[in-house]
Structure 1
Amino acid sequence: MEERKYLQTWKKYLPVIRLHLKRSFNEDQSFKLNITDFESAGDRGKSGYTFNITMENGKVTNNISGSAVARDLFEALKSDETIKAMLQDKNIKISVGKSFILSIKTTHVSAFK
């Protein structure tokens, strides 16, 4: 397992992510990341920084083991108590595409399962 080279970069973004996560409860959110923040943390080369994380009740439901950027984002989210609380009882998809836009889509999980 490689060291968490993107963790500090993601922690810098936590206040913005927290705000957009809260807003995503009403409508999908997206904002542009600064690519140089990530390039200085580690070079992903051709593989790029694109990923999807799907979470249910704060737990990742897809395989992110192949993406250090995604793993470190999840690590940063888990370390923030406010965000951890917001992730409960919700399905959340966070993705970053080639244009370096982070998108957050939230759907609420029904209490009646």
Structure 2
Amino acid sequence: MEERKYLTTWKRYMPVIRLHLKKSLTEDQQFKLNITDFESAGDRGKSGYTFNINMENGKVTNNISGSAVARDLFEAIKGDDAVKAMLLDKNVKISVGKSFVLSIKTTHLSTYR
């Protein structure tokens, strides 16, 4: 397991992520990440920085073990109490595509499961 080279970068983004997560309750959110922040942390080369994290009630429901960038983002999320509180009773999908835009989609979990 490699060291958490993107964790510091994600922690710097947490205030922005927190704001967009709050706004994502009413509409999907997107914002552009600065690719040089991530390139200086570690070179992903051809594999790039794209990933999806699906969370339900603050727990990851898909496999992110292959992406250090995604794992470190989730680590930063777990360390932020305000964000953790926002994730309760919600389904959240966070993704980064090839254009280096972070997207957040949030839906409320149904109480009728």
TM-score (norm 1): 0.99
Q: Please name the residue that 1:74 is paired with.
A: 74
SS at match of 2:40: helix
The answer to whether structure 1 residue 6 and structure 2 residue 23 are counterparts is: no
Query: Separation in 1 of the partners of 2:84 and 2:19?
Result: 13
Over the matched positions of the two proteins, sequence identity in percent amounts to 82
- Residues 13-69 of structure 1: CA deviation (Å, up to 9, x unaligned): 000000000000000000000000000000000000000000000000000000000
- The residue aligned with 1:84 is 84
- 1:88 is displaced (CA, Å) by 0.5
Deviation at 1:112? Answer: 2.1
Match of 1:22 in 2: 22
Letter in 1 for 2:87: L
Structure 1 position 110 matched with structure 2 position 110: yes
CA distance in 2, matches of 1:7, 1:69: 8
Please tell me the residue identity of whatever aligns with 2:37. D
Tell me how far apart the structure 2 counterparts of residues 36 and 112 of structure 1 sit (CA, whole Å).
44
Distance 1:112 1:86 in 2: 20
Q: How far apart are the structure 2 equivalents of 1:66 and 1:112?
A: 33
**CA-atom RMSD in angstroms:** 0.4
Length, aligned pairs only: 113
Distance 2:27 2:109 in 1: 16
**Runs of 5+ unmatched residues, structure 1:** none
Structure 1 position 111, deviation (Å): 1.7
In the alignment, the residues of structure 1 paired with residue 111 and residue 77 of structure 2 have an alpha-carbon distance, to the nearest angstrom, of 23
Q: Return 5+ residue gaps in structure 2 as ranges.
A: none
TM normalised by structure 2 equals 0.99
- 2: CA distance, partners of 1:17 / 1:111: 26
